Amino acid sequence: MAINYQHILDSICEEVKDLLPKGKVADYIPQLSAVSPLQFGIAVYCLDGRTYTAGNAHTRFSTQSVTKLFALALAFSREGDKIWSRVGREPSGNPFNSLSQLEYEQGIPRNPFINAGALVIHDILAARFVQADIALLQFMRMLAREPGLDFDRTVAASEHQTAHRNYAIAHLMKDFGNLHNPVEDIIYGYCRQCSITMNCVELARAASFLSNHGSIPWDGTRILDYSSSKRLNALMLTCGTYDAAGDFAYRVGLPAKSGVGGGIVALVPGELTIAVWSPGLDAAGNSLAGVTALERFTTLTTRSIF
């Protein structure tokens, strides 16, 4: 029997309303603190092109750490397994901006989705492209089929002004020889990367190549081979939702990547991609309403990888 995705999304939108005031926006980035937490959007993009939306699905938001997924895909498509000499593939079990673990492990980040790992990935891209942030933006525009995607320069400036811990992480890795470009360049580019804005529809569409085993669904363009796509999906499952990845896998059962802007993108391999956005976060830095919405989605559709 066909699944009525629209009915399910509408019902989820109603179910999560009471959670919206209970989350906490990412106020350590001043510009994000001004975003109202009383917003929720959800979009499903099926591999045959069908799209379903509810709530604020067309409102653009700061994607923040969700961009780490696309940066990793771009770096992996160019460098392959060489990137694993500089960044690991294990869950961190620590906050995404931890310094202590990085020092203990001699400047090698646990995975590409914590801040240290994302800075290494940006460093890899900076060695490949004249401007890594512009290359990533163009890549995401192509994947989303949306040439209007852009940086939010106000958010980027706000993030750069408060990037003290990221500077500390970068200098520590530089000291261990695991950052090759100037620290200032990497931090500046990384803050710009995190400021890229998308809405739920654009985000779900952009990540659909990972649901489609590495190729863009509408034209067949191959971004990653089947094996590489599988590996990135595995990293999303084990490392994509900060140090709450185990709980997320237990509750939702899908590979996903979250960001402190309140966005989460998740996928059902071979079927669809789903994006949610609600700015209020839980203690781990994931969208409070967004995680619950994804849990309800997999329950109501009986779609998960388990």
Which residues fall within 8 angstroms of residue 130, CB to CB, at 6 or more apart? Answer: none
The helix or strand, by DSSP H or E, that contains position 173, with its residue range, turns out to be helix 164-175
Residues labelled catalytic: 65, 68, 190, 242, 260
- In angstroms, the CA 222 to CA 213 distance is 9
Phi, psi for residue 66 in degrees, rounded to 5: -60, -30
Convert 218-238 to b/e letters by CB count within 10 Å (16 or more is b). Answer: eeeeebbeeebbbbbbebbbb
- For residue 268, the 8-state DSSP code is E
Amino acid at 299: T
- In angstroms, the CA 218 to CA 206 distance is 11
